[in-house]
Amino acid sequence: MDMADLLHRYFGTRDLAAIAPAALPDGIERMRVDFGMMQDRGQRFALWSLLVVLGDAPDLDIACAHEEDREAARNLLDLLAAAPE
């Protein structure tokens, strides 16, 4: 899944900075519902990654059933923590 496509699907824009603050709760709620129903590991990871960026991701033990997915998630979290603000 492409992040720009996810942004467009849930928030109506491909630009993270252009999301209206009032639109965030509804878009995040739709993402969390889709995340809970998603079976494809790659698509779940993409949704989880965007939820991380938005500050509303479920914990790793809930989000990732497979150890390799949890390791990829930890790597993403480390990269985000090391990125300049």
Distances (CA, A) of 78 to 5, 31, 73, 82, 84: 24, 23, 9, 6, 12
User: Residue 42: its pLDDT value, please?
Assistant: 92
Q: What is the mean pLDDT of each run of 10 residues along the chain (85 residues)?
A: 91 93 95 95 94 93 92 94 88
Predicted confidence at residue 24, as pLDDT, reads 94
Rounded to a whole number of angstroms, the CA Rg of the chain reads 13
Provide the whole-model pTM. 0.90
Helices and strands in the chain: count of H runs, count of E runs: 5, 0
